[in-house]
Chain A
């Protein structure tokens, strides 16, 4: 076995796990926000993130732009794709009279799943299913707690937390944000205040689009994605959000760290091959014992 000391491994797990969890958190919080406000489980989540990454990569590879521009393009594409998802798929289904209310959920699930797969196929067709990475904005390594860490990893965690902080400010301190928060608790009540529900939806999806774009680009810089990542990314966000409690954004944040660290610890101490299994087992236990999740409301 290796000669690395226990403390080195401990700090490695701490640092690596933190970066991974922060990324999970960003994506999962967006997913939770959408469900909390509009009751939609967007199964094209992974596809939107991958679209952002591939756009950033393509900008760098084919248009030869610098890392900042590439990242901006990636975020923009993720944002636009998310809004397209809302306008083309989700909004029409929410409004249609051809489907009974109880069945809308299933149709939205199926339609977003289909949409996600379409995006996945398109990406594979245009750019092959090979993994893509985005040129990192920050290069080089530094030492954190004695662990040699790419500066990019620190950058990822910092950006994630800046965005999370921004989200908190938005939701708690701005009028628009507060309406979104209110809508997540009581959609009908919000309309009584004279606020159009559809405007809130658009605002929420716009926020989600930004989260997806940023999370995607960061993921592309940190680990890279391929068109195969679409399914696992969606499943991961879904699991985290259920764990945290469907509809609870703060629950998603906490759950993301739980899952991120579980995976990292497994990869380091047991085997990289079994990385995803403990998180899945935890999910099963939670669903059996406390289906509401950690902080679930609905």
Chain B
């Protein structure tokens, strides 16, 4: 029963994505650009949700994984100019390694300490990027010589289908036996352990998957923008936006992350006319949602089912 409901969701997702892939026919290049960013952001949020929503670990540093992936890909391209897909692969592997390195100390501690570990990781990455400026571009940011394409439509399609495939994988994972064990571990690790599940192994697995997608999305985004900077990939503010996207969309829904990402970016754009206050208003709205509708958009949608 559970599997077929998951299959139905995936089918809906597929339909939506196919419809969305026709957008370039009618929508301006600028909007496509926004949606491209929203797709990558959506992947960041989904990856975060896997770790938090399921494994129950509050990760304040999704940007540690994203930044590691993005910068590795960018630096490699700058130094040696190998084909883009090699840089992207390298970035993804680096992010996974980073995820494992982060997971080891992080998984030994609980609650706020875990959050702090992830926060410290981001700060250290930030410090490193700034200090080793000759390699990373430092505060300057890094400009990479190659981009995937300058066509808005192609960039959009790449991002859209990447997001769709990531969503499908992450969502299926969340509904699979592994995902259920993760969820159990997240909600009550002791009981899960008592039931014979290796909690640490499963959480490590979640870390690796989260790192994989975060790093991959980060690396791809570098080759969309043509540059990487602390402000785009590493800064805590970016991490916060990712968390907001996931929470707004609904924890433990995976797909909610995409909705949240689209919402945040759409809102920021719609508010552009009010100029500088736009950011303020978006965050204020997010705060209101967090305070009053903690189950997020998806939560609202499924409230009938779960009973609030």
Q: Within 8 Å by CB, do A and B touch in the complex?
A: yes
Q: Please give the residue numbers on chain A whose beta carbons come within 8 Å of chain B beta carbons, in ascending order.
A: 41, 89, 92-93, 96, 98-99, 102-103, 105-107, 109-111, 113-115, 117-118, 121-122, 124-125, 231, 235, 238-239, 242, 246, 273-274, 276-277, 280, 283-284, 287-288, 291
B127–A291 touching, CB < 8 Å: no
**Min C-beta distance of A108 to chain B, whole Å:** 10
A-B complex: 10 closest residue pairs judged by Cβ atoms: A121-B280, A114-B287, A125-B276, A118-B283, A121-B279, A99-B294, A106-B58, A291-B109, A111-B290, A98-B294
**Min C-beta distance of B63 to chain A, whole Å:** 12
Instruction: Indicate whether A93 sits within 8 Å of B291 (C-beta atoms), given known contacts A105-B111, A117-B283, A118-B284.
Output: yes
Having A121-B279, A239-B120, one finds 4 other A-B pairs with CB under 8 Å, namely A98-B295, A107-B247, A235-B119, A274-B131
Q: Which residues in B have their C-beta under 8 angstroms from that of A122?
A: 280
**Min C-beta distance of A28 to chain B, whole Å:** 14
Rounded to whole angstroms, the CA-CA distance of A115 and B113 in the bound complex is: 22
For window 28-57 of B, CB contacts with A under 8 Å fall at 52
Rounded to whole angstroms, the CA-CA distance of A113 and B240 in the bound complex is: 8
Instruction: Indicate whether A110 sits within 8 Å of B236 (C-beta atoms), given known contacts A246-B112, A284-B105.
Output: no
Rounded to whole angstroms, the CA-CA distance of A98 and B117 in the bound complex is: 28
Residue count of chain B within 8 Å CB distance of chain A: 39
Rounded to whole angstroms, the CA-CA distance of A28 and B172 in the bound complex is: 44
Return the contact of B236 from the options A115, A118, A231, A246 (Cβ within 8 A). A231
Return the contact of B286 from the options A93, A99, A114 (Cβ within 8 A). A114
Rounded to whole angstroms, the CA-CA distance of A239 and B112 in the bound complex is: 11
Rounded to whole angstroms, the CA-CA distance of A53 and B251 in the bound complex is: 37
Rounded to whole angstroms, the CA-CA distance of A99 and B294 in the bound complex is: 7
Is B167 located at the chain interface by the 8 A CB criterion?
no
Rounded to whole angstroms, the CA-CA distance of A264 and B55 in the bound complex is: 40
Contact pattern, B 111-151, Cβ under 8 Å of A = 1, otherwise 0: 11101110110011001000100000000000000000000
Rounded to whole angstroms, the CA-CA distance of A113 and B105 in the bound complex is: 24
Rounded to whole angstroms, the CA-CA distance of A118 and B284 in the bound complex is: 7
Q: Which residues in A have their C-beta under 8 angstroms from that of B286?
A: 114
Q: Which residue of A lies closest to B275 (CB)?
A: A125
Q: Which residues in A have their C-beta under 8 angstroms from that of B112?
A: 41, 105, 242, 246
B295–A283 touching, CB < 8 Å: no
Return the contact of A287 from the options B116, B187, B236, B291 (Cβ within 8 A). B116
A280–B116 touching, CB < 8 Å: no
Is B302 located at the chain interface by the 8 A CB criterion?
no
A280–B120 touching, CB < 8 Å: yes
Return the contact of B277 from the options A103, A125, A277, A280 (Cβ within 8 A). A125
Is B26 located at the chain interface by the 8 A CB criterion?
no
Q: Which residue of A lies closest to B187 (CB)?
A: A102
Rounded to whole angstroms, the CA-CA distance of A93 and B291 in the bound complex is: 7
**Min C-beta distance of B1 to chain A, whole Å:** 25
Instruction: Indicate whether A109 sits within 8 Å of B119 (C-beta atoms), given known contacts A122-B280, A274-B131.
Output: no
Instruction: Indicate whether A280 sits within 8 Å of B244 (C-beta atoms), given known contacts A111-B291, A238-B119.
Output: no
Q: Which residues in B have their C-beta under 8 angstroms from that of A291?
A: 108-109, 113
**Min C-beta distance of A33 to chain B, whole Å:** 15
**Min C-beta distance of B137 to chain A, whole Å:** 16
B120–A273 touching, CB < 8 Å: no
Rounded to whole angstroms, the CA-CA distance of A289 and B124 in the bound complex is: 19
B58–A287 touching, CB < 8 Å: no
**Min C-beta distance of A120 to chain B, whole Å:** 9
Is B83 located at the chain interface by the 8 A CB criterion?
no
Return the contact of B52 from the options A106, A113, A235 (Cβ within 8 A). A106
Is B243 located at the chain interface by the 8 A CB criterion?
yes
